[in-house]
Amino acid sequence: MSAGGGKTYRPWNPQHYRQQAHSPVSKLPEGDLVFFLLDVVPKLDLGQFYAPYEHETRGAPPFDPAMMVCLLLYAYCVGVFSSRKIALACERNLAFLAIVGQERPDFRTISDFRKLHLEAFKDVFVHVVRLAAEAGLVKLGNVATDGTKIQGNASRHKAMSYGYMQKEVERVREDIEALVTQAYQQDEAEDAVLGSRRGDELPAELARREERLVRIEAAMRRLEARAKAEADAERQRRAAADAERQRTGTKRRGKAPQPVQETPDDKAQSNFTDPELHIMRTNNKGWEYCGNAQASVDGACQIILACDVTDASNDKQQAEPVAQAMLANLAQAGIERPKDAAGTPQAIPATLDNGYYSEAAVAALETLGFDPYIATERQRHHVPQAEAPETPRTVQERMAAKVRTPEGKALYARRKVIVEPVFGQIKEARGFRRFLLRGLAAIRGEWCLVCLTHNLLKLWRYGRVLRAVSAV
């Protein structure tokens, strides 16, 4: 098969099994997810998937990228994420066989294809959002944003604190010095007995310690750079607070803050298997190396409009970048803002929990064309809310009053039934609780693939419902 050029690929013909007695069509239920994907994937723009192979003339013909895309999408839809398990399913599972036929890729081919095309799946994500909008599943009446911690592919036992790194560097340097001295003494003894020799072989123990020293010092530099960035951000925050106090004529409350420290705390940690992830507190009160996965979800049918992963442990700085990503996806998908009776574009209602609140976040969302409803403090169950002042003066008081209006209460009450079930469907129903890839760029691509398949499942399920209703 050839697509977009003269490159030849291994033949892929999913209709082949239709001619056989034990075909997937005769065994699987009508309207099964695999048949839905086999119909949808050929309609997607897969040019980016074909591009890397078009000018490669070496080796055997590769597997058809359309087949590989369909295989990965189906696997992620049904909760099979490991490349080894996907390869095994291609030999034993009838639905997987409906996709691959006789051309069954091994786990390494599947793994390499996924890593190579993570960026290309972002365009597929936008294309699926467009399909959802065309099917009437995107209304932009209430877009809820939230984050969830997902464990990274990094072990807590492969981490070290900054304080321990300093001690370990000194110890390793002493070991290296001792080994070098021992090597010189051994060379002299051997020269005296055996005569001259090359002597440029590096002892294994010395090489191992030098490699360890390099890795530890690199981790220390990462922690120092992170501490400096946090110190700069803290100085900017304090300067903005001082400027606001001078503008309003208010005095600082409490004790004067301590000087900003640019050196890392002794307890600050860095992981050696995935240095880009930070240790975060999880819902089970434990600590793990995680990515903070973000999602903006449309309230009509729980279609994810934007997704991202950050290494920040809280959501304080995420409202603006996720909103910008959503607008970019909507523009690329050709989805317009809701309009009033006169045809004037309206602001998109956006609901976020108190973890996203800041004056800067409110201003950014309003500038981008959103109508934000953000809780300004944690709302505890069975505890009466404090009465709002009659004339709100600050941004925080105005937002709190806005959320307490009948319209605000109705919109904000929907937030928890829009976005939080999406994380439950991904983590509990499909079992995606840990990233398989390493590095922030890679896990962002993997999270995009997870969210993409979530939207495909919604398209498939709502399509079945709509067909059933139209048949009645």
How many Cα atoms are found within 13 Å in the side-chain-facing hemisphere of 248? 10
Please tell me the least confidently modeled range out of 146-150, 184-188, 308-312, 356-360.
Answer: 184-188
Retrieve residue 405's tokens: 């209006």
Tens digit of pLDDT for each residue in 88-97? 999 989 899 9
Q: Give the mean model confidence (pLDDT) for residues 287-306.
A: 94
Q: Give the mean model confidence (pLDDT) for residues 163-176.
A: 73
Residue 370 reports pLDDT greater than 90? yes
Q: Give the mean model confidence (pLDDT) for residues 308-330.
A: 94
Number of other residues whose CB lies within 10 A of the CB of residue 57: 6
Residue 194 reports pLDDT greater than 70? no
Q: Which residue has the higher pLDDT, 205 or 28?
A: 28
Contact 302, 426 (CB under 8 A): no
By DSSP bridging, strand 304-310 and strand 287-298 are antiparallel
Residue 116 reports pLDDT greater than 80? yes
How far apart are the C-alpha atoms of 396 and 339, rounded to whole Å? Answer: 28
Average pLDDT, the chain: 84
Residue 13 reports pLDDT greater than 70? yes
How far apart are the C-alpha atoms of 365 and 347, rounded to whole Å? Answer: 10
Q: What is the pLDDT of residue 173?
A: 75
Number of other residues whose CB lies within 10 A of the CB of residue 279: 18
Q: Which residues does residue 434 pair with via DSSP β-bridges, in sequence order?
A: 151
Number of other residues whose CB lies within 10 A of the CB of residue 202: 11
Q: Which helix (H) or strand (E) holds 112?
A: helix 107-116
DSSP 427: I
- Of 462, 450, 465, 457, nearest to 72 by C-alpha is 450
Q: Give the mean model confidence (pLDDT) for residues 303-307.
A: 97
Residue 107 confidence class, pLDDT cut points 50, 70, 90: very high
Residue 10 reports pLDDT greater than 50? yes
Please tell me the least confidently modeled range out of 110-119, 289-298, 379-388, 427-436.
Answer: 379-388
Residue 141 reports pLDDT greater than 60? yes
- Of 465, 434, 452, 469, nearest to 151 by C-alpha is 434
Residue 469 confidence class, pLDDT cut points 50, 70, 90: very low
Residue 282 reports pLDDT greater than 70? yes
Q: Which residue has the higher pLDDT, 89 or 23?
A: 89
Residue 265 reports pLDDT greater than 90? no
Residue 18 confidence class, pLDDT cut points 50, 70, 90: low
Residue 67 reports pLDDT greater than 70? yes
Residue 257 reports pLDDT greater than 90? no
Residue 192 confidence class, pLDDT cut points 50, 70, 90: low
Contact 286, 421 (CB under 8 A): no
Residue 199 reports pLDDT greater than 60? no
Q: Which residue has the higher pLDDT, 222 or 17?
A: 222
Q: What is the pLDDT of residue 465?
A: 65
Q: Give the mean model confidence (pLDDT) for residues 164-183.
A: 73
By three-state DSSP, how is residue 355 classified?
helix
DSSP 8: -
Please tell me the least confidently modeled range out of 7-16, 142-151, 305-314.
Answer: 7-16
Q: Give the mean model confidence (pLDDT) for residues 106-119.
A: 94
Residue 182 confidence class, pLDDT cut points 50, 70, 90: confident
Q: What is the pLDDT of residue 443?
A: 94
Retrieve residue 189's tokens: 């003894």
How far apart are the C-alpha atoms of 455 and 77, rounded to whole Å? Answer: 9
Helix ranges restricted to H, 43-143: 47-50, 65-77, 83-92, 94-100, 107-116, 118-134
- Of 297, 334, 332, nearest to 455 by C-alpha is 297
Q: Which helix (H) or strand (E) holds 371?
A: strand 370-374
Q: What is the pLDDT of residue 472?
A: 43
Tens digit of pLDDT for each residue in 458-468? 999 988 765 65
Q: Which amino acid is at 203?
A: P
Q: What is the pLDDT of residue 377?
A: 82
Residue 178 confidence class, pLDDT cut points 50, 70, 90: confident
- Biggest distance spanned by C-alpha atoms of the chain: 99
Number of other residues whose CB lies within 10 A of the CB of residue 352: 29
Residue 262 reports pLDDT greater than 50? yes
Global confidence as pTM: 0.80
Q: What is the pLDDT of residue 270?
A: 74
Distances in whole angstroms, Cα of residue 13 to Cα of each of 19, 28, 67, 103: 12, 18, 9, 10
Please tell me the least confidently modeled range out of 280-294, 411-425, 429-443.
Answer: 280-294
Q: Which helix (H) or strand (E) holds 308?
A: strand 304-310
Q: Which helix (H) or strand (E) holds 279?
A: strand 278-281
